[in-house]
């Protein structure tokens, strides 16, 4: 007992909860320390989610780029490059408890468990990681369609989203390739993060969620004068292509879930009606 690890924890005190600052680097550092110190891991979690328990042994982790890099190298070595990508996508799901599942999965991977190099989806943890990664990537794919740009007074384009998973960085390659010749920005109002492209490079910045619009009407208010013309045209188009004889709101809500209506101009009326407790959509 009482051997100090140098990070502020007592070794051998039983199951440990590793708490990090929240980013992927912090998580990987936690994995690194858990392996190095052969800890019996109770949970790994972000500080923002951590609720101190009376009997938990808590270890606080400082993110460390080198340690994180070594874990990534290990994942590629014991699994493959795609496995590393899957692990990161699963982490970005921000699903409750996913980091602990990832830890068990990685722990098995590093030990060559079942010789599958991380591909045995009959294993419950491996399948949970696979699913979380799939859901995150699927949402990123959906947002390639659901991002709505408006023209800002300075002529650049801006959009606000509130995705369930932390997909903003995953959108960068798509929109950079599609709109390489004008400046644009996408803000994640849920996480206070912005992806900004200046016409040359894309980068992630922190932005204050309090200053971001709460819905599409708020975003419209920030747009350049005259921008609303295309709103009207888009709404008119959206209404005109609907075939009333085939009306099917259930199918619509399944394909375009209500949680995404907040920043869509064509769903704005339905979205605010919902907020007032009116029957959804007309």
For residue 268, what are the CA distances in angstroms to 175, 203, 229, 257, 263? 24, 29, 16, 13, 7
Q: Find residue 16's DSSP bridge partners.
A: 41, 57
Under the criterion CB under 8 A, does residue 230 sit at the interface with other proteins?
yes
Both tokens of residue 136? 């995150």
Indicate the pairing of strand 202-206 with strand 193-197.
Answer: antiparallel
132 near other proteins (CB under 8 A): no
# of chain residues touching other proteins (CB under 8 A): 56
Should residue 241 be labelled a site residue for other proteins when binding is judged by CB under 8 A? yes
Stretch that binds other proteins, among 32-40, 64-72, 172-180, 189-197 (CB under 8 A): 172-180
Neighbouring C-beta atoms of residue 127, cutoff 10 Å = 14
Report the relative pairing of strands 150-151 and 193-197 from DSSP bridges: unpaired
Judge contact between 170 and 161, C-beta under 8 A.
no
Residue 281, interface with other proteins (CB under 8 A)?
yes
Q: How far is CA 13 from the centre of its chain?
A: 34
Alpha helices, DSSP H, located in 93-183: 98-110, 124-146, 168-178
Asked whether position 12 contacts other proteins by CB under 8 A, the answer is no
Residue of 200, 246, 259, 276 that binds other proteins (CB under 8 A): 246
* Contact between 146 and other proteins per CB under 8 A: yes
Total residue length of the chain: 282
Q: Is 111 near other proteins (CB under 8 A)? A: no
200 sits near other proteins (criterion: CB under 8 A): no
> In this chain, which of 9, 28, 68, 157 binds other proteins, going by CB under 8 A?
157
Tokens of 209: 């969620």
Contact status: 1 vs other proteins (CB under 8 A): no
Minimum Å gap between C-beta 233 and other proteins is: 6
34 to 63, contacts with other proteins by CB under 8 A? none
Q: Which is nearer to other proteins, 110 or 234 (CB)?
A: 234
The answer to whether 266 contacts other proteins (rule: CB under 8 A) is yes
Q: Which of 9, 72, 185, 264 contacts other proteins by CB under 8 A?
A: 264
DSSP code at position 170: H
Q: Are strands 57-60 and 157-161 parallel, antiparallel or unpaired?
A: unpaired
User: Could you list the residues that contact other proteins (CB under 8 A)?
Assistant: 114, 116, 119-124, 127, 138, 141-142, 144-150, 157, 159, 174, 177-182, 230, 232-234, 236-252, 254-256, 264, 266-267, 281
């Amino acid at each position: 007992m009482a051997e100090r690890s140098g990070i502020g924890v007592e070794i051998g005190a039983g199951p440990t909860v590793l708490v990090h600052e929240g980013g992927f680097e912090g998580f990987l550092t936690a994995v690194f320390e858990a392996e190095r110190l052969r800890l019996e891991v109770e949970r790994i979690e972000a500080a923002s989610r951590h609720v101190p328990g009376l009997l938990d042994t808590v270890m606080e982790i400082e993110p460390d780029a080198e340690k994180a890099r070594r874990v990534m190298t290990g994942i590629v070595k014991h699994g493959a490059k795609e496995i590393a990508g899957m692990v990161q996508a699963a982490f970005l799901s921000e699903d409750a408890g996913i980091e602990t599942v990832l830890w068990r999965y990685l722990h098995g991977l590093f030990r060559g468990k079942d010789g599958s190099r991380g591909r045995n989806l009959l294993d419950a943890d491996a399948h949970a990681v696979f699913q979380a990664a799939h859901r995150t990537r699927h949402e990123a794919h959906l947002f390639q369609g659901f991002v709505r740009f408006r023209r800002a007074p300075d002529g650049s384009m801006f959009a606000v989203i509130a995705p369930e998973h932390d997909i903003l960085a995953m959108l960068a390659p798509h929109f950079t390739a599609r709109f390489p010749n004008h400046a644009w920005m996408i803000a994640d109002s849920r996480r206070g993060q912005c992806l900004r492209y200046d016409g040359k490079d894309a980068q992630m910045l922190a932005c204050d969620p309090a200053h971001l619009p709460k819905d599409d009407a708020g975003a419209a208010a920030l747009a350049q004068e005259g921008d609303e013309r295309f709103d009207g045209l888009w709404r008119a188009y959206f209404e005109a292509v609907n075939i009333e004889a085939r009306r099917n709101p259930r199918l619509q809500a399944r394909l375009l879930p209500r949680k995404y209506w907040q920043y869509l101009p064509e769903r704005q009326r339905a979205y605010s009606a919902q907020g007032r407790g009116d029957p959804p959509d007309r």
